[in-house]
Amino acid sequence: MEVITNTDLKLPLISKGKVRDVYAFGENVLMVATDRVSAFDVVFNEGVPYKGAVLNSLSSFWFRKTEEIIDNHMITTDISKALPSYLGGRSMIVKKATPLKIEAVVRGYLTGSGLKDYQKDGKVCGIKLPPGLKNGSKLPDPIFSPSTKAEHGHDVNISFDEVKKTIGHEAAAYVREKAIELYNFGHAHLLKQGFVLADTKFEFGIFEEEIILIDECMTPDSSRYWDKKEYEKGKLVSSDKQYLRDYLETLNWNKTPPPPPIPKKVVDDLSKKYLDAYERITGHKLQ
């Protein structure tokens, strides 16, 4: 599959995100998952083979699996023959929803920015956690730990009270309930496939006055998957974008543009991790 890091379609461009190019498609939206990769909110020059196809196909898998929990924006992954062939496998036609201005993060385990917050005051997003937890500790129950949806710069963890101020009390309660339900569903499925779902990020939007699930769903870009056997041995072995972050932490880089080059081996290893995650989660080879 050709590595695609940029698209230029004869359609109105709605937005160009870190990974996705979004176009108007009649009354709907065409969402294209490119092979761009970002870390620490910086987009790198290298593309990762198969990455866009994995994100698109895995999101489609989860959208179908979870549609009884909450409706989602997916209409079809069958792309019109009038569009370029390279869009096949990496594109989805979706409903035109209005995104809610928060990131709905659910954590079942303590790591990442949640761990950093916990180490400061024993709390994550204002939620008091038991003392003595370490990197990788399983939480007593999954927690809703939302963040801002930053147009530029880094997302910032916020409290549930701030979510209520941003999207309203009723919407905040509904999003929290559904995000945790989605996480629990994904966590249970992934355990059977040999993964621990440490945490994941959901996005929600409003379509025809209803809150629905949008963007992507439980992919290696929006989630942390740890190998279950290694976790049981006390090791946190990632099959997601954390592999790239860990490599970048070894560099003398200040996490601002311009990005450093990513060695071919790191790109290839990351591509293999994405493909492995897709195949283990779905039980199928990527088409």
Indicate if the pLDDT at residue 1 is higher than 80.
no
pLDDT value of residue 128: 95
Nearest residue to 211 (alpha-carbon basis) of 73, 58, 61: 73
User: pLDDT (tens digit, 9 = 90+) per residue, 4-35?
Assistant: 999 999 999 999 999 999 999 999 999 999 99
pLDDT value of residue 155: 77
Confidence of residue 156 (pLDDT cuts 50, 70, 90): confident
Confidence of residue 111 (pLDDT cuts 50, 70, 90): very high
pLDDT value of residue 15: 95
pLDDT value of residue 81: 84
Mean pLDDT of all residues in 102-118: 95
Indicate if the pLDDT at residue 187 is higher than 80.
yes
In eight-state DSSP terms, residue 86 is: G
User: pLDDT (tens digit, 9 = 90+) per residue, 211-263?
Assistant: 999 999 999 999 999 999 999 999 999 999 999 999 999 999 999 999 999 99
Distances (CA, A) of 197 to 37, 186, 227, 242, 277: 21, 7, 9, 13, 12
Q: At what angle do helices 51-66 and 169-192 cross, to 10 degrees?
A: 110
pLDDT value of residue 149: 78
Q: What is the 3-state secondary structure (H, E, C) of 62-76?
A: HHHHHCCCCCECEEE
Quick one: what percent of the chain has pLDDT higher than 70?
98
Confidence of residue 153 (pLDDT cuts 50, 70, 90): low
Confidence of residue 150 (pLDDT cuts 50, 70, 90): low
User: pLDDT (tens digit, 9 = 90+) per residue, 262-272?
Assistant: 999 999 999 99
Residues 6+ apart with CB under 8 A from 100: 149, 166, 167, 171, 175, 203, 204, 205, 206, 211
Please count the other Cβ atoms lying within 10 Å of the Cβ belonging to residue 153: 8
pTM of this structure = 0.95
